[in-house]
Structure 1
């Protein structure tokens, strides 16, 4: 089997699955319960005057 064909089959199946799972994980992590306070604190850092 050629290298190109093997890599294409891998990308069509397992790599697509891995990227989808990564994307879903990032989305779920972003909108997790209890994440609003740290996100608000991080968003207000440029506005703080020391």
Structure 2
């Protein structure tokens, strides 16, 4: 029972903080300057002929 309590406290505090920071990092990565060109290039890959 002691292990469950410790894991629950970790999940409620540090794991939640880590997931929030990861989410904000992904959002910042997507909306960074220059991301549109990279996304457009990646989207055109299936349409390119060999």
Fold similarity call, TM over 0.5: yes
Relative to the length of structure 2, the TM-score reads 0.92
Q: Structure 1: give runs of 5+ residues left out of the alignment.
A: none
Q: How many residues align?
A: 50
Equivalent residue runs for 1:1-50 within 5 Å: 2-50=2-50
Higher relative contact order (CA 8 A, sep 6+): 2
Q: CA RMSD in A?
A: 1.2
User: Which runs of 4 or more aligned residues in structure 1 lie more than 3 Å from their structure 2 counterparts after TM superposition?
Assistant: none
Structure 2 unaligned blocks of 5 or more: none
* Structure 2 CA distance for aligned equivalents of residues 39 and 10 of structure 1: 36
TM-score (norm 1): 0.92
